[in-house]
Structure 1
Amino acid sequence: MASSFWEQHWWLVFAAAALVIPVGGMIASTFTTWLHFRQRREALAALKAYADSGRTPPPELAEILKAQATGPFYNVGVRFGPTPGAAPGAAPGPGDWSDPASPWADPMMWGSDRYARRAARQAMRMARWRYRAPYRRWSAVVWLAALTVGFGYAAQHATGDTANAFLVTAIILGAATVGSVVTAVIATVMRP
Structure 2
Amino acid sequence: MGMIFWVLVFSVPLFGIVYAGFTTWLKYRQHRAMLDVLKVYAERGEAPPEEVLTALTKGFSLSEAGVTAPNPVSAGMAKAQGPIHYWSLVGLFAVFSAGFAYASWSSGLAGYPFTIVAFTMGAVAVWALVMAIGLSVKKK
RMSD of equivalent CA atoms: 4.3
Partner of 2:96: 147
Cα deviation 1:128-184 (Å, max 9, x = unaligned)? 733x521221222122111101101111111332x1111121112112211110011
Report if the CA contact (8 A) 2:97-2:121 is conserved. yes
Q: Is structure 2 residue 137 aligned with structure 1 residue 174?
A: no
Q: Is structure 2 residue 107 aligned with structure 1 residue 158?
A: yes
Partner AA of 1:156 in structure 2: W
1:170–1:159: structure 2 CA closer, same or farther, 3 Å change rule?
A: same
1:111–1:69: structure 2 CA closer, same or farther, 3 Å change rule?
A: farther
Q: Is structure 2 residue 79 aligned with structure 1 residue 129?
A: yes
Cα deviation 1:100-134 (Å, max 9, x = unaligned)? xxxx3xxxxx477233145356898169733x521
Structure 1 residue runs of 5 or longer lacking an equivalent are: 37-66, 82-96, 98-103, 105-109
Cα deviation 1:52-78 (Å, max 9, x = unaligned)? xxxxxxxxxxxxxxx996213543552
Partner of 2:35: 72
Number of corresponding residues? 126
* TM-score (normalised: structure 1): 0.47
Shift of 1:185: 0.9
Shift of 1:22: 2.6
Aligned pairs for 1:4-153 within 5 A:
16=10, 19-26=13-20, 28-29=22-23, 70-72=33-35, 74-75=37-38, 78=41, 80=44, 97=46, 104=47, 110=48, 113-120=51-58, 125=75, 129-130=79-80, 132-153=81-102
1:140–1:17: structure 2 CA closer, same or farther, 3 Å change rule?
A: farther
Determine what percentage of the aligned residue pairs are the same residue: 16
RCO greater where, 1 or 2, for CA within 8 Å and sep 6 or more? Answer: 2
Partner AA of 1:23 in structure 2: I
Structure 2 residue runs of 5 or longer lacking an equivalent are: 60-71
Report if the CA contact (8 A) 1:75-1:111 is conserved. no
Partner AA of 2:54 in structure 1: A
Determine helix, strand or coil for the equivalent of 1:78. Answer: helix
Partner AA of 1:152 in structure 2: A
Report if the CA contact (8 A) 1:144-1:177 is conserved. yes
Determine helix, strand or coil for the equivalent of 2:17. Answer: helix
Cα deviation 1:20-70 (Å, max 9, x = unaligned)? 45313145358869xx7xxxxxxxxxxxxxxxxxxxxxxxxxxxxxx9962
